[in-house]
Structure 1
Amino acid sequence: MRASSVGRRGVGPVCALLLATAVLAGCGHRSDSEDTGPHAVATSAGPSGYGAVFLAVDECSSFGTTSFTEVPCTSERAAARVVARHDGGVAAGPLCPQTTDFVLHIGATRAASGGNGDGAVPQGYACMRKLEAPHPGDPGGGGGPRTIVGDCVYSTGDGQVRETACDGKGGRPPEYRVTSAVADRSACPSATALYVQLGGDRPVGCARPV
Structure 2
Amino acid sequence: MEKRRVVRVSRALLPVVAVLAVAACRPSVDTPSGPPGGGPASSGHGAEFLGPSDCSSRGEAFREVACGSEKAVARVLARHTGVPRDGPACPPPTDFVLHISAGGPSAPRGYACMRNLESPHPGDPGQGGGPLTVVGDCVHSVREGEVRETACDGSGELPPEFRIGSAVARRTLCPGATDLYVHLGGDSPVGCARRV
Shift, 1:18, TM fit: 2.8
Q: Does 1:160 align with 2:146?
A: yes
How many Å separate the matches in 1 of 2:160 and 2:150? 6
How many Å separate the matches in 2 of 1:71 and 1:138? 24
Residue ranges of structure 1 left out of the alignment (5+ in a row): 1-7, 111-118
Shift, 1:50, TM fit: 0.5
Equivalent residues in 2 for 1:44-59 (5 A)? 44-45=34-35, 46=40, 47-59=42-54
Alignment-mate amino acid for residue 49 of structure 1 = G
Shift, 1:88, TM fit: 1.1
Work out which of the residue numbers 132, 142, 150 in structure 1 matches 2:136: 150
Name 2:179's counterpart in structure 1: 193
In structure 2, the CA distance between the partners of 1:27 and 1:99, relative to structure 1 (3 Å rule), is farther
Equivalent residues in 2 for 1:63-82 (5 A)? 63-65=58-60, 67-82=61-76
Alignment-mate amino acid for residue 31 of structure 2 = A
Alignment-mate amino acid for residue 59 of structure 2 = G
Shift, 1:16, TM fit: 2.4
Contact persistence 2:48–2:106 (CA under 8 A): no
Q: Does 1:15 align with 2:7?
A: yes
Q: Does 1:121 align with 2:107?
A: yes
> Mean alpha-carbon deviation: is it higher for 176-185 or for 15-24?
15-24
SS of the equivalent of 1:25 reads strand
How many Å separate the matches in 2 of 1:64 and 1:29? 26
Equivalent residues in 2 for 1:94-113 (5 A)? 94-110=88-104
Work out which of the residue numbers 20, 38, 54 in structure 2 matches 1:26: 20
Q: Percent identity?
A: 55
Name 1:184's counterpart in structure 2: 170
Alignment-mate amino acid for residue 9 of structure 1 = E
Name 1:133's counterpart in structure 2: 119
How many Å separate the matches in 2 of 1:206 and 1:25? 10
How many Å separate the matches in 1 of 2:80 and 2:168? 26
In structure 2, the CA distance between the partners of 1:55 and 1:86, relative to structure 1 (3 Å rule), is same
Contact persistence 1:100–1:145 (CA under 8 A): yes
Residue ranges of structure 2 left out of the alignment (5+ in a row): none
TM superposition score normalised by structure 1 = 0.83
Shift, 1:10, TM fit: 6.4
How many Å separate the matches in 2 of 1:136 and 1:181? 20
Name 1:42's counterpart in structure 2: 31
SS of the equivalent of 2:126 reads coil
Shift, 1:59, TM fit: 0.6
Contact persistence 2:47–2:106 (CA under 8 A): no
Shift, 1:14, TM fit: 5.2
SS of the equivalent of 2:103 reads coil
Q: Does 1:169 align with 2:162?
A: no
TM superposition score normalised by structure 2 = 0.89
Larger relative strand fraction: 2
Give the aligned CA root-mean-square deviation in angstroms.
Answer: 1.8
Work out which of the residue numbers 186, 191, 196 in structure 2 matches 1:205: 191
